[in-house]
A = this chain, B = another copy of it.
Amino acid sequence: MTTLAIVGATGAVGSVMIDIIDARESVPWSEIRLIASPRSAGKRLRVRGEEIEVVALSPEAFDGVDIAMFDVPDAVSAEWAPVAVSRGAVAVDNSGAFRMDPDVPLVVPEVNADQAHERPKGIVSNPNCTTLSMMAALGALHRAFGLRELVVASYQAASGAGQEGIDRLQAELAAVAGKGVGYRRGDVAEAIASAGLPPESPFNAPLALNVVPFAGSPKEAGWTSEELKVRNESRKILGLPELKVSATCVRVPVVTTHSLSVHATFENEVDVATAHQVFAAQPSIVLVDEPEAKRFPTPADVVGEDPTYVGRVRQALDFPNTLDFFVCGDNLRKGAALNTYEIAEELVRR
């Protein structure tokens, strides 16, 4: 008798959590409880053939809950995950509220599943979607070769900024398509304004027919929150507090699925054939790497898929013990809902 709660059940990631639960052959839950803000309470959602009424977030909503998955804003998690714990649940949280708390493990099951079981605060954190999109691949390579340095540039999808981000990108695309813009400074912004879209955008610049080298919020010395998360979370998940990391996070006009160009330097010698074997041996990775046939992963081929796709694996020509590669992962699935659910499965497995 195990009860799972989804907190934020009516949100974008919550919906994907329900999709994932629906698609599982079997689930270990005797009850699934859907929790959301008061304005979503009373909605009825179908989960594994059963209609479930969404209940409002309250302390009592967690009574009898064993595992509570949270996908809500940082401040809501900060307040309510401890409440869930005080009512006897383990909280698996996909906000940024607890990720860097030394008493909260940050877990990617195929990398550091054991850590999910050492949780002094009763909370397990799910990493940021950008970090997660490359972590299955990096974890596998680290076990094989010993990771030392990481230089990363991202190609991040609009859905990383939530439903608002997706809606903005689709509206901008409709505004620019067929308008013959992209040829002179500012014509994309003019087409977007002419279509009546508000100047405020979650991306701080046009995203259609553009790329935006800024994701998250500004932090110290010119770095963004997103770039620091990639550094700090990679170090914590891999247990490498001295890992050298430089990340540049860039938004691209893709709906869902983050991609990363990764330049990774290892303690030991590397070669492409061995790296291919390492990737092929990891069930959560799909290797698509046939450059002669022009086969490589792209986000449009990965969206909606659970695995991390890896390709363009090259041995660096000038840097010893270094691989360059390209990775694509659905930021709403492995990057959010799927990994959170896999942590819940890991918790109930023991």
* Chain A contacts to B: CB under 8 angstroms: 149, 151, 153, 155, 170, 173-174, 176-178, 180-189, 204-206, 209-214, 218, 221-224, 231, 243-246, 248, 250, 252-256, 259, 261, 263, 272, 289, 291-292, 294, 296-305, 311-319, 322, 324, 326
Task: Please state the number of chain copies in the assembly.
Answer: 2
B246 contacts A209, CB within 8 Å?
no
Query: Pick the contact of A213 from B221, B253, B259, B292 — CB < 8 Å?
Result: B259
- Pick the contact of A173 from B149, B173, B189 — CB < 8 Å? B173
- Across the interface, which residues of B come within 8 angstroms of A206, CB to CB? 298, 300
Known: A223-B314, A252-B253. 7 other contacts (CB 8 A): A170-B177, A170-B178, A183-B255, A212-B296, A213-B296, A213-B312, A222-B313
> Which of B210, B248, B301 meets A312, CB within 8 Å?
B248
Q: A252-B155, A322-B246 are in contact. Are A209 and B300 (CB under 8 A)?
A: yes
A314 engages B221 (CB within 8 Å): yes
| B304–A246 CB distance below 8 A | no
Q: Are A317 and B183 in contact (CB under 8 A)?
A: no
**A84 CB → nearest B CB, Å:** 31
A324 to B224, CA, bound (A): 12
Contact B250 A253 (CB under 8 A): no
Evaluate contact between B318 and A246: CB separation under 8 angstroms: yes
Q: Are B153 and A261 in contact (CB under 8 A)?
A: yes
On chain B, the residues within 8 Å of A213 by CB distance are 259, 261, 296-298, 311-312, 326
For A305, the chain B residues whose CB sits under 8 A away are 185
B256 and A182: CB pair below 8 A? yes
A-B contact pairs, 17 of them (CB 8 A): A155-B211, A155-B252, A183-B304, A185-B300, A187-B300, A205-B298, A211-B254, A211-B298, A213-B312, A214-B294, A214-B296, A218-B292, A222-B289, A222-B315, A243-B318, A246-B316, A246-B319
B324 pairs with A185, CB closer than 8 A: no
User: With a CB–CB cut-off of 8 A, which chain B residues contact A291?
Assistant: 214, 218, 222, 224
Name the distance in Å between A185's Cβ and chain B's nearest Cβ: 5
